[in-house]
Amino acid sequence: MKKLRLVMVLHGHQPVGNLEDIFRSACEKCYEPVLSSVKEHRDIHLGLHFSGVLLEWIENNRPTVMDMICELVSSRQVELLGGGMYEPILSAIPEADAVTQLDLMSSWLYDRFGVRPKGAWLAERIWEPQMVGLLSRMGHTYTLVDEIAIQRAAILDRASDGYWTTEQAGQVLNLFPIDKSLRYSVPFKPIDHVMGKLEELFERYDYTTVTLSDDMEKLGMWSGTEKTMLQEKWWDNFLSSVVEASDWLETKSPLQVIESSDSRGRVYPPSSSYEELESWALPFSIQEELAIRGKDNLRPGTHPTWHGFLAKYPEADRLHKKMLLVSAKLLEALDDDAPWEDEHEQARYSLLEAQCHCAYWHGLFGGLYLPHLRHAVYSRLIKAESILDCRSQGDEWISYDETDLDSDGKEEILLESALLSAHLDPNKGGVLAELDFRPSNLSLTDTMTRRKEYNLGIEEKAQDEQAEVLARMVQDRWTRKCFMDRFPSPATTLEELQSDSYVEEGDFLDTPYSVEKIEIDEDSYEFKLSLSRNGTIARGDVRYRIVVEKFFTIPGDQAVIQVLYRIRNTEDIPIDLLFCPELNLSLSPGEPSKQHVELDSMVGPGPRARSSGEHEDAPWIALVDDSSRLRLDLHMQPSTNVWRFPIETVSRSDRGWETNNQGYVLVPRWEMTIPAGASQQLFIRLSIGRTEDDTVVPIEIEQNMD
């Protein structure tokens, strides 16, 4: 008798670096009860994909769940899918790493469950045509895509019926299209509605096979679903309803369908993912248009791929390019004839774990905006890079390279030593874009810029219980980095700077500086970089010409960044200026209560780092993190007033609006009058060390700069 075949595939994942409580809660509320229900319904067959991150946690913490998976696989109720071991976006990492990720996952499943997967799960269901060759070469015969991928291949009739075949240069891959209406219904609609939809597809539209697949976490972990699953037993009752409809409905795993039926034909889908992700990847201006005009009126062709997040968020792009740099160093080490040791295998696994996609973009669940996820990725990348560099360079060294680090067609400067990795960008304000402190595996510039995206659609929410949170949303005009050369109007207040509502008189932010000199001084063992910019100060209708010269010095044997500024007035009249070189810094995302400020005028720990304040005539100020035993000292000559405040972002999740602390801002505030044709020199020294190290004691700044 003819029946509708229902292909169900469940996908479970938790990010690298996620909180232990979330792993435990997800297992108790979702993974264990869902699998237990499948086990109780012996006539149910489905596909299951757990990311390697989650599988490793389950193996180490929930052996009973591992046993249950083994039993379901042995009884052939469950077909396991492979994919990238640590859930990377396969098209966003080097192909050699993608091969390693796929092979590692396949081997892991074989070692634990005795099967090698024929299907591959694509993280966030991000489809790119080059996946055909990659997956087929690695022994996979199918993957799952959203039905919109098939529709974009000009298949408008029953696009989600059955499965399709695609090819690349003669290599073949089968595609199971996920039915959108079913995905939206489970578990949010009544069971009768879902069963009615299945019956309609079978009776009215003559479907032979339909695929239902989505994140397993929505079966108990998503907001509002815990009651549905645990109290109302939606999933358990749904499986019972499927079994009871056995006269016209049966469940099959993807491989069972391929083995028993032909594909519907050959298609060539373009790049795609699920529609929500594609809308999140849109540029801010298009998102605004989407909010105003509605999705149906959106200009044609606006379907960005996942890579749109790298263009949209400089922080995501910086993290991504750091990953590519470490990957290139690993590949170089693999090509080396030197012996491969255990610590280098640690570097390899650290890189693979750091390719977990969650911290590289922002969707409904925070992602890029969650400091602990970014920290987890950065710490693994810095650890891997330190191991590889120590192998190739030794214990004490310093080097630099002029290269296009962010792939924007312009060269930046990468300075590296045994203690630091610094990315300096002359093209965007002569800033320090990234600073890694290698002894702590910590990025000190892992901050976020506050963005306009959160202004979309909040007006109608301004009266609800989250009005206070929404009122704190701020839009920054410039991406937050270190040594940003701000020239606020002299009357600017701390509150105006913090809210970015002040008047910027200079044209030095995010604009090109000229590289005058770059070298490593062999006598002093120091990296030296000289930058300059001929710019203007705009005050009303009048523009004053000034030159900012910026001299970076980084010793090879200390974790120190020293900057000398020389501001020159080229006009024939005096100019009054307020100069505020801003540093945006991050500490570990641990306990905020253990992060505080210290000052020359205070005895013992000062105020909490997450507070705002102004300190007068300060020769130095320090950020101290007792939990990680890290100390950042900022020394200034001449002594001056210092503004400080935390960076707080507001983001939307499935639970509503959330706030996250993204780091701390330190702003020396020099007021000056520069006579005609004269110049003013200012010094800043950022020293990094552990609280038990002698290097954190305040040191006189060397003022002689050639």
pLDDT at position 601: 73
Beta bridge partners of 202: none
pLDDT at position 651: 77
Side chain identity, residue 27: C
Residue 624 has pLDDT above 90, yes or no: yes
- For 556-614, the pLDDT digits (tens) are 999 999 999 999 999 999 999 999 999 999 999 878 889 999 998 776 678 999 999 99
User: Among 337-346, 397-406, 518-527, 534-543, whose mean pLDDT is lowest?
Assistant: 337-346
Summarize the confidence of residues 166-173 as an average pLDDT.
Answer: 96
| 3 state SS for 34-82 | HHHHHHHCCCCCEEEEECHHHHHHHHHHCHHHHHHHHHHHHCCCEEECE
The owner of tokens 């970076």 is: 552
The rounded percent of the chain whose pLDDT value lies above 70 is: 93
DSSP-assigned letter for residue 161: B
Residue 276 φ/ψ region, left for φ over 0, alpha for ψ in the -120 to 50 degree band, beta for the rest: alpha
Summarize the confidence of residues 660-667 as an average pLDDT.
Answer: 95
Output the CA–CA distances (angstroms, integers) from residue 578 to 40, 490, 660, 678, in the order listed.
72, 5, 30, 16
Domains along the chain with CATH numbers: 4-273 (3.20.110.20), 308-425 (no CATH), 452-696 (2.70.98.10)
Residue 299 has pLDDT above 70, yes or no: no
Structural tokens at position 283: 């540029």
End-to-end CA distance of the chain: 89
Residue 454 has pLDDT above 50, yes or no: yes
Element (H, E) at 124: none
Summarize the confidence of residues 166-180 as an average pLDDT.
Answer: 97
pLDDT at position 279: 85
Average pLDDT for the chain: 92
Residue 281 has pLDDT above 50, yes or no: yes
- Residue 225 DSSP SS3: helix
pLDDT at position 457: 47
pLDDT at position 354: 98
User: Among 14-18, 294-298, 315-319, whose mean pLDDT is lowest?
Assistant: 294-298
Summarize the confidence of residues 446-466 as an average pLDDT.
Answer: 64
Distance of CA 195 to the CA centre of its chain: 38
- For 634-658, the pLDDT digits (tens) are 999 999 999 999 999 987 766 667 7
Are 409 and 512 spatial neighbours (Cβ–Cβ below 8 Å)? Answer: no
Residue 695 has pLDDT above 70, yes or no: no
- Residue 350 DSSP SS3: helix
- For 474-496, the pLDDT digits (tens) are 889 999 999 999 999 999 999 99
Output the CA–CA distances (angstroms, integers) from residue 678 to 42, 568, 674, 675, in the order listed.
86, 6, 6, 5
Residue 540 φ/ψ region, left for φ over 0, alpha for ψ in the -120 to 50 degree band, beta for the rest: left
- Residue 444 phi/psi, 5-degree rounding, is -90, 0
Are 513 and 393 spatial neighbours (Cβ–Cβ below 8 Å)? Answer: no
pLDDT at position 286: 80
- For 105-138, the pLDDT digits (tens) are 999 999 999 999 999 999 999 999 999 999 999 9
Contacts of 26 (CB under 8 A, 6+ apart): 12, 14, 217, 221
Residue 540 has pLDDT above 80, yes or no: yes
Residue 458 has pLDDT above 70, yes or no: no
DSSP-assigned letter for residue 700: P
Q: What is the dihedral of CA 194, 174, 3, 181, to 10 degrees?
A: 20
Summarize the confidence of residues 214-226 as an average pLDDT.
Answer: 92
pLDDT at position 287: 75
pLDDT at position 658: 78
Are 281 and 308 spatial neighbours (Cβ–Cβ below 8 Å)? Answer: yes
What does the alpha-carbon distance between residue 489 and residue 573 come to, in Å, rounded to a whole number?
Answer: 18
Smallest CA-to-CA distance from 3 within 202, 173, 153, 225 is with 202
Output the CA–CA distances (angstroms, integers) from residue 558 to 274, 561, 598, 682, in the order listed.
48, 9, 21, 21
pLDDT at position 302: 62
Beta bridge partners of 529: 518, 552
pLDDT at position 295: 59
Residue 700 has pLDDT above 60, yes or no: no
Residue 270 φ/ψ region, left for φ over 0, alpha for ψ in the -120 to 50 degree band, beta for the rest: beta
